[in-house]
Amino acid sequence: MPRIAGVDVPENKKIRYSLRYIYGIGPRFADDILAATGIDPDTKARELTDQQVSSIAAAIDAGFVVEGALRRQVAQNIGRLRDIRSYRGDRHRRGLPVRGQRTRCNARTRKGRKKTVAGKKGVKG
């Protein structure tokens, strides 16, 4: 497997799709990197020469924040929102959706598995 930016990318896929396995590189950035290095996007990752792999790695290092540095940056941004006690920081702290989604139904990804409350429906008073 070719190792680019500290990540093992799949070698049986085209390089334009393999690059997306690197955290912080999506479809557009992958195509931009390949255009800058002059590599055909339809080339399989295993067919790349060492020189091409190093040119891709150099292009990523020169122009993109990826992997550990990007994860650290995102965590710092969330920490800053928590520290200044903003609404978004509060939502992060409570583990609720941050971007205005509804929580009466759905939101299971953020809230986790259902916590059934006994006797909630049938209580009359």
Residue 55 has pLDDT above 90, yes or no: yes
**What average pLDDT does the structure give for the chain?**
90
How high is the pLDDT of residue 8?
A: 85
Share of the chain above pLDDT 70, in %: 95
Q: Where in the chain is the domain with CATH 4.10.910.10?
A: 68-111
> Which fold would CATH assign to domain 3-63?
Helicase, Ruva Protein; domain 3 (1.10.8)
- Using pLDDT thresholds of 50, 70 and 90, give the confidence band for residue 120: low
- State how far the alpha carbon of 112 is from the alpha carbons of 36, 38, 62, 103, in Å: 42, 45, 39, 12
Residues of CATH 1.10.8.50 domain(s) within the chain?
A: 3-63
pLDDT of residue 122: 64
CATH fold of 68-111, please?
Answer: 30s ribosomal protein s13; domain 2 (4.10.910)
